[in-house]
Amino acid sequence: MANAIVTKECLEILGTISRNPHSGLVNLPDALWRTLCADRHNRMEHAPSFYQLAMFHLLQISSKAPDADESHILFEHMYSIDIEELLETELPDYVKRYLQVVRDVIWNRRTFRSKANSRNKSTLVGLVPQSSKMGDNLCVLYGCSVPMVL
C-alpha cells in the first residue's frame, strides 16, 4: 500500500465484502476495517465503532453498485482507495479522522494472509512492512505490543 493507496486486492486479502441481494445490506468483516487502522484510535485507545461507519462510507464512494444480475461480491465493482486524494475532498469529519489514522498505519505496508502454526487452524490477516516476503516468520516477542516480522 505504497503512498497510502488501498487496492481492492488488499481489501480482498483482509476479508470478503458482499451485499445481500435480498436486503441490500453489506457484510463488512471486522478484520478489514480494524486491520486498516491497527484497531487503534489516537495510538492508545481501541478503535471506536464509528470507524466501521467510516469504512462503509469509503466503500460506497469507491465502488459502483452492481446490477441485479451481476455478482454481489463488491470487490468486483470497486476501485482503489487513494487516501491522500480523499483527504483533500469534502468528507464527513468522522471519515477524515478514520482516513488519517489509516494513512499513518498503512503507509508502505502490505497485507498478508497466513495460517497459524499452532493447534488453532484459523486464518491470520494483517499488515507487514513492504519489504516482507514469503518465508519470513511472524512472531510475538515478549514485551512487544505488536507482532514482529523476522
Instruction: Provide CB contacts within 8 A for 97, sequence distance 6+.
Output: 54
User: How many angstroms separate the CA atoms of 124 and 42, rounded?
Assistant: 24
Q: Could you tell me the three cell numbers for 80?
A: 482503489
pTM flag (> 0.85): no
Q: Which residue has the cell 445481500?
A: 20
pLDDT at 54: 93
User: How many angstroms separate the CA atoms of 120 and 123, rounded?
Assistant: 9
pLDDT tens digits, residue range 12-64?
A: 888 777 666 666 667 788 888 999 998 888 767 889 989 999 998 888 887 76
pLDDT at 93: 95
Angle at 94 (CA atoms; ends 65, 23), nearest 5 degrees: 30
